[in-house]
């Protein structure tokens, strides 16, 4: 028996050495080939070789072949990384847009307490010059880049004021602008607190802790913690947030990678603030990564009722690695597992089809796990809610109005005509205001076709390709007449779903971003149904 064990150990060692040598050989082979190809191109290619461009394309393509999250970040894009990790940048703190290339920059929305806000800029003000340079001919992005800069530096804007029409110079000192992850915290009713969180950047756990304590002082007896659309962020922040609601020393997530340094378990390390208050965690297909760590851990401990639709399924951990020339690489180094042992990763990037595409892990190949109370949960496809409640879908015209910017641009026009509006809880768009919106939208270019009309147009093209259109022309004309609504008719038909979005855009211009979230809760049917849904008992 001992001889067999020795032979087996030697065999494993030989295989390991051989595998390691093979990896090193392949890496050396391809590095040498790439160098040789570049040298030959540099020597003999017919035109000047754009080395920087083709190398960047090559690096991006190489990393893209692994997964969407492993990316190269050159020095000039470090500020974008800073914005992604901490949601901060140096600037004046305002959303701008430029309706025409030969026009002025419109202040769309100054952030609350930002340099722009402190300098008295309001929605509808027009920027004519930035540090003495006319904005005529500049794009929105070029204007934005000129307004950004190192915190503490000065900026002079020539501004045409909305209310008075006066042109004046506005002196602003740039600051470090932080876009908050915790976008709203308030009471839905006398006993229900509500927190909407859009990311997991540095410091968010402390913000959530403070928000929960403040809501408890207002009488909160149950909490709705909304992570819908939250794409995640810093793992450690997720661990700390779970630690607010479960006992100290609880396992939150395990990370398992190839390197020993990537084998880690993360436990809560501070006393919780409340282990008893009922919690609803709302999730959807946009909830990913750190959102799934939080919702998965609270589900595994039967500490919260997860409500909504299945989450995205990102069970991969990224780390930042330094590179030469002040570059960095965000690289996938591990997979993470919830306390019950689940990996929520939905896409298998390690096994690609012949065409390079990847597929989701089928439900038939997922595995069962158990929560602390013995309930069955599964891996391999995100977090499945305890109570599934789909959101109300938007029609195609409403989505088109939003993506084309018409809703927010109309909000600016509304502000120009109305110096003030009632408080958020009392504000409603009047019928006359909606008629005004219809007239505004009729004059704008956007795709207002219904889904049925888009499918009909696709069918017409296919019939033409097949040579069948002429023989069916009479029937097609009748069907087209029935489904081809004009712009005004369709806008009136979808009034009930368009009005809340207009109201949200408007209140933000008067009362800043939290007001928009507050108004959104008024119309959020998924949220209202969640409040009436059955709950998971604590420790079930």
* Active centre residues (catalytic): 289, 300, 314
What sections of 284-327 are H helices per DSSP? Answer: 290-300
CA distance linking residue 112 with residue 311, whole number of Å: 31
DSSP per residue over 66-100, as a string?
A: T-TT-EEE-GGGHHHHHHHHH-EEEE--EEEE-SS
What is the C-alpha R_g of the chain? 28
CA distance linking residue 485 with residue 464, whole number of Å: 23
CA distance linking residue 226 with residue 208, whole number of Å: 12
DSSP per residue over 198-248, as a string?
A: --B-TTHHHHHHHHHHHHHHTT-SEEEEE-TT---B-HHHHHHHHTTTS-T
3-state helix, strand, coil in the chain (%, to 5): 45, 20, 35
DSSP 347: B
Other C-beta atoms closer than 10 Å to the C-beta of 187 total 13
Q: Token pair of 249, please?
A: 């020393």
Q: Classify residue 345 by burial, with Cβ atoms within 10 Å: 0-12, 13-18, 19+.
A: buried
- Of 335, 333, 344, 320, the closest CA to residue 261 belongs to 333
319: β partners: 331
188 within 8 A of 194, measured Cβ to Cβ: yes
CA distances 70 to 35, 274, 275, 354, 391, Å, are 23, 37, 37, 21, 32
Q: Token pair of 475, please?
A: 């029937």
């Amino acid at each position: 028996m001992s001889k067999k064990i020795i032979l087996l150990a030697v065999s494993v060692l030989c295989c390991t050495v051989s595998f390691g040598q093979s990896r090193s050989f392949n890496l050396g082979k391809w590095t040498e080939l790439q160098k040789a190809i570049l040298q030959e191109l540099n020597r003999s290619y017919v035109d000047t070789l754009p080395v920087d461009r083709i190398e960047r394309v090559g690096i991006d393509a190489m990393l893209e072949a692994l997964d969407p999250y492993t990316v190269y970040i050159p020095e000039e894009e470090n500020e974008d990384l800073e914005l992604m990790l901490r949601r901060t940048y140096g600037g004046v703190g305002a959303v701008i847009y430029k309706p025409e290339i030969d026009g002025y920059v419109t202040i769309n929305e100054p952030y609350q307490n930002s340099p722009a806000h402190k300098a008295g800029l309001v929605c509808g003000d027009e920027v004519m010059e930035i540090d003495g340079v006319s904005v005529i001919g500049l794009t929105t992005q070029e204007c934005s880049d000129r307004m950004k800069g190192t915190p503490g530096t000065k900026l002079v804007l020539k501004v045409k004021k909305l209310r008075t029409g006066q042109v004046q110079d506005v002196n602003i000192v740039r600051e470090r602008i932080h876009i908050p992850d915790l976008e709203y915290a308030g009471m839905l009713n006398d006993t229900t607190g509500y927190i909407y969180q859009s990311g997991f950047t540095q410091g968010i756990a402390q913000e959530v802790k403070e928000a929960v304590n403040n809501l408890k002082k207002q009488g909160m007896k149950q909490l709705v913690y909304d992570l819908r659309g939250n794409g995640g962020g810093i793992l450690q922040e997720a661990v700390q947030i779970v630690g607010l609601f479960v006992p100290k020393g609880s396992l939150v997530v395990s990370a398992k990678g190839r390197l020993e340094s990537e084998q880690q378990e993360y436990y809560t390390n501070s006393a919780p603030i409340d282990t008893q208050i009922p919690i609803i965690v709302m999730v959807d297909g946009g909830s990913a990564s750190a959102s799934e760590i939080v919702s998965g851990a609270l589900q595994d401990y039967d500490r919260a009722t997860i409500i909504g639709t299945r989450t995205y399924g990102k069970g991969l951990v990224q780390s930042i690695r330094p590179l030469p020339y002040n570059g960095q690489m965000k690289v996938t180094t591990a997979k993470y597992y919830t306390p019950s042992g689940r990996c929520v990763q939905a896409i298998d990037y390690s096994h690609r089809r012949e065409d390079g595409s990847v597929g989701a892990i089928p439900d038939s190949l997922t595995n069962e796990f158990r929560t602390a109370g013995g309930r069955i949960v599964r891996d391999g496809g995100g977090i499945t809610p305890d109570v599934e409640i789909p959101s109300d879908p938007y029609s195609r015209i409403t989505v088109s109005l939003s993506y084309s910017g018409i809703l927010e641009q109309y909000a600016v026009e509304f502000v120009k005509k109305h110096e003030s509006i009632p408080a958020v809880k009392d504000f409603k768009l009047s019928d006359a205001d909606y008629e005004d919106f219809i007239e505004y939208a009729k004059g704008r270019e956007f795709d207002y076709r219904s889904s049925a009309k888009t499918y009909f147009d696709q069918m017409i093209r296919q019939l033409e390709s097949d040579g069948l259109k002429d023989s069916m022309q009479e029937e097609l004309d009748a069907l087209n007449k029935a489904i081809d609504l004009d712009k005004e008719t369709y806008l009136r038909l979808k009034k009930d779903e368009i009005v809340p979005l207009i109201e949200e855009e408007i209140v933000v211009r008067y009362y800043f971003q939290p007001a928009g979230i507050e108004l959104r809760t008024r119309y959020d049917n998924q949220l209202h149904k969640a409040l009436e849904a059955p709950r998971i008992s604590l420790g079930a």
